[in-house]
Amino acid sequence: MPGSGAVRSASVAPPSPAEADVCRSILPHTYDARSGLPRHAARPIPQDARCPVCGMFPARTPRWAAQLIFDDGAAYFFDSPVSLLLYLQDVGRYSRGRLHTEVRASYVQDFETGTWLPLDSAWFVHGSDALGPMRAGNLPPFRTRSDAEAFARRHGGQILSAAPLRRALPDALRRQAPHRHGARPPGR
């Protein structure tokens, strides 16, 4: 309608299943011996690193960052513990050609100090009021159970170790997986 400011929308067909499932392929960062760090040690987050699960830049939210290192020293960096755990539950889904057995180390950052911690020694708080990088619930990690308990008293939530989270994330967190990454559309 001329002069009314109304815009006529064109009829657009919904994307095909193949188009709807297009994902960005994120390459790992290779190990650089010149860094002086041991091959499987936690490393600083490169500014250009992208999370292989959601595509976010972990360096923009370092308090939540996590990382994983393979046998060959190649590393992926994650925007949050939830993304790292989603990745570990299905490595081949997010990195074709990689196997879970190739993972040598995985780290999360203590939520209060920023110190890198081995994933399996960290304590997590699920259901707190702390929102992760995607502005949704997440899993703030802590070095000790008592640190996690103190945080939960202030912010709510339940204390969990890494073991049950490695097996399966709580439903509210699992739904944060942003892509199907090669999953077959229903009926195929």
Structure tokens at 98: 């990689």
Read off the pLDDT of each residue in 66-70 and give the average, rounded to a whole number. 97
Domain spans of the chain, in order of start: 49-174
CB 142 within 8 A of CB 109: no
* pTM attached to this predicted model: 0.79
Please name which of 127, 110, 122 lies closest in space to residue 173, comparing C-alpha atoms. 127
State the pLDDT at residue 10. Answer: 44
Residue 150 burial (CB count, 10 A): 14
> Is residue 107 pLDDT above 60, yes or no?
yes
Could you give the C-alpha distances from 124 to 19, 66, 88, 101, 141, in angstroms and in order? 36, 13, 16, 24, 4
> Is residue 114 pLDDT above 90, yes or no?
yes
pLDDT band with cut points at 50, 70 and 90 for residue 110:
very high
pLDDT band with cut points at 50, 70 and 90 for residue 69:
very high
